[in-house]
Amino acid sequence: MAEPSDFSFTLGARMDGAHGRTGTIHTPHGDIQTPAYIPVGTKATVKAVLPEVVKDLGAQAVLSNAYHLYLQPGPELLDLHGGLGKFMNWDGPTFTDSGGFQVMSLGSGFKKVIDMTGPEAQGKVGSDDAVAPGKERLANVDDDGVWFTSHINGDRLRFTPEVSMTIQHQLGADVMMAFDELTTLHNSRGYQEESLERTRRWAQRSLDEHARLTEQRSHRPYQALYGVIQGAQYEDLRRKACRDLREMRAEFNGVEAGFDGYGLGGAFEKENLGTIVGWCAEELPEDKPRHLLGISEPDDLFAAIEAGADTFDAVSPTRVGRTGAFYTEYGRINLPRAEFAADLSPLQDGCDCYTCANYSKAYIRHLIKADEILAGTLMSIHNLRFTVRLVDDIRQSIIDGDFHEFKDQMLGRYYNQQKRPV
């Protein structure tokens, strides 16, 4: 019978003077060595890359989106296949988010979560009705749930904590997220407080429905549920959210249990990432894993890990790859530049990825200029491998006790504080 004890987290090495640590997340579909980068496969695919290749690149799990899979092809079909992993031919652990991100992205139209303070926000900060220029509101929140307007066909859709839990159980992911409301940096303090209380109530409803569905679907492997922490950039709200979620319980087959882990969500300025993760690490139980939802660049990875994040997802490696940029130890580079037109070297010397072993900058640049789909595949392979390898190296540096030295060296090179060799 499926039960919470089928999922666990084992602590490993700890960093001196920081919350960073290594560990192992044990799931029914395999272990995840942490800290770990989780590639994003929104619609049951990491864009432009075969699942088998994602695994070969060293990725330990993938994350998909409950809202998008609800629209296409529908969770019932994935359930029929035996879950997300079997559906997409991925035999490792899987994560799903709850639809909470779409509450923000379809509601206000803003796509960025970290550092949502660019030109598009001018004149709108503090407005609870802020909508990005050229966008219309496709999500409307009330205390019971959210009405979505499908961006595909205009259908009106109702999401509640119970609906989100039903969808995610049908998707069959090893790790699910409680339904939450993602606010923006434009919302007032008053709205952040109101939203946090709504998210707290939704979290308890998610946990209760998760317990009911776990018992009902005992023929399936146990699926872990993470409570999601909101509170924007307010320390008191973040800490309150952690304490509230930490204390929540539901009854699983006569035994009380809480959340299996915690998701750190919400909007914040980039420079506050480590501080906010650190507040949460101080409040959350040490024996439960922490997942940071949606981060980006190498400095974000170091900040998150040092502050206590165990896993994190990011679309950046594949997204920037499809737009012609690739990662190197000396920074992110745009391949369409003319200087690479006859460059026969790989994207990065010494890289062990398939792309660098077989193709030159000149060839891949040609594919980009010719608008060939293969360009996105080759660039994404390299960027995924770069990110997975970087996090593997960070994990090893924590074990070896030289995290800070490795961080200074790597970020010094990446952000051009050290010169690229000629």
First to last CA, the chain: 61
Name the CA radius of gyration of the chain, rounded. Answer: 21
- Per the domain annotation, does 381 fall within a domain? yes
Q: Which long-range contacts link 359-365 to residues 24+ away (Cβ below 8 Å)?
A: 361/335, 364/335, 365/335, 365/336, 365/340, 365/341
Q: What's the per-residue H, E or C state across 80-102? A: HHCCHHHHCCCCCCEEEECCHHH
- 4 part of a folded domain: no
Between CA 316 and CA 31, with CA 27 as vertex, the angle to 5 degrees is 70
Say what the alpha-carbon torsion angle 400, 95, 84, 224 is, to the nearest 10 degrees.
100
> Are 295 and 349 in the same domain?
no
On whether residue 5 sits in a domain, the answer given is: no
Do 68 and 105 contact (CB within 8 A), yes or no?
A: no
Answer yes or no: do 281 and 375 share one domain.
Answer: no
Tell me, yes or no, whether 88 lies in a domain: yes
pLDDT score at 202: 97
266 known member of a binding site: yes
pLDDT score, position 304:
97
Q: Tell whether residue 99 is among the known ligand binding residues.
A: yes
How far is residue 417's CA from residue 103's CA, in Å, rounded to a whole number? 39
66 and 193 assigned to the same domain: yes
* Residue 361 sits in the same domain as residue 393: yes
Residue 312, domain member (yes or no): yes
Domain assignment of residue 296, given as a range: 11-322
Question: Is 100 labeled as ligand-binding?
Answer: yes
pLDDT at 129: 61
Look at residue 6 and tell me if it is in a domain: no
Contact at 8 Å (CB) between 48 and 378? no
Query: Which residue among 277, 307, 322 closes a domain?
Result: 322
Same domain, 234 and 369: no
Same domain, 110 and 217: yes
Look at residues 58, 32, 26 and name the one whose alpha carbon lies nearest to residue 310: 32
Give the residue numbers marked as catalytic.
97, 313
Give 222's DSSP letter. Answer: P
- Asked whether residue 353 is marked as a ligand-binding residue, the answer is yes
Domain-terminating residue out of 295, 322, 349: 322
Do 267 and 187 fall within a single domain? yes
Same domain flag for 298 and 367: no
Q: Residue 341 to residues 218, 318, 375, 378: CA-CA distances in angstroms?
A: 58, 22, 14, 17
266 and 240, same structural domain? yes
Q: Residue 242, annotated ligand binder? A: no
Helix (H, G, I), strand (E, B) or coil at 217: coil
Distance CA 345, CA 63 (A): 33
Domain for residue 296, yes or no? yes
Total number of domains constituting the chain: 2
User: What's the pLDDT score for residue 119?
Assistant: 40
CATH of residue 288's domain is 3.20.20.105
Examine the domain organization and report whether 56 and 122 are in the same domain: yes
Domain assignment present for 55 = yes
Tokens of 347: 């994207």
Same domain, residue pair 272 and 255: yes
230 is in an annotated binding site: yes
Q: Is 280 annotated as a binding residue?
A: no
Spell out the per-residue pLDDT of the chain, length 422, in tens: 677 888 999 999 999 999 999 999 999 999 999 999 999 999 999 999 999 999 999 999 999 999 999 999 999 999 999 999 999 999 999 999 987 656 544 544 445 555 555 444 444 445 566 545 555 557 788 999 998 888 888 889 899 999 999 999 999 999 999 999 988 888 889 989 999 999 999 999 999 999 999 999 999 999 999 999 999 999 999 999 999 999 999 999 999 999 999 999 888 899 999 999 999 999 999 999 999 988 878 999 999 999 999 999 999 999 999 999 999 999 999 999 999 999 999 999 999 999 999 999 999 999 999 999 999 999 999 999 999 999 999 999 999 999 999 999 999 999 985 555 54
26 is in an annotated binding site: no
Instruction: Tell me what pLDDT residue 268 has.
Output: 87
Half-sphere exposure of 313 (CA within 13 A, CB side): 23
**Residue 168 labeled ligand binder:** no
Please tell me the distance from the alpha carbon of residue 8 to that of residue 411, in angstroms, as a whole number.
33
Domain end point (choices 261, 295, 322): 322
Q: Which residues have a Cβ under 8 Å from the Cβ of 412 and sit 6 or more positions away? A: 418
Q: Are residues 194 and 330 in the same domain?
A: no
Amino acid 134: pLDDT: 57
Q: Interhelix angle for 361-369 vs 374-400, to 10°?
A: 130
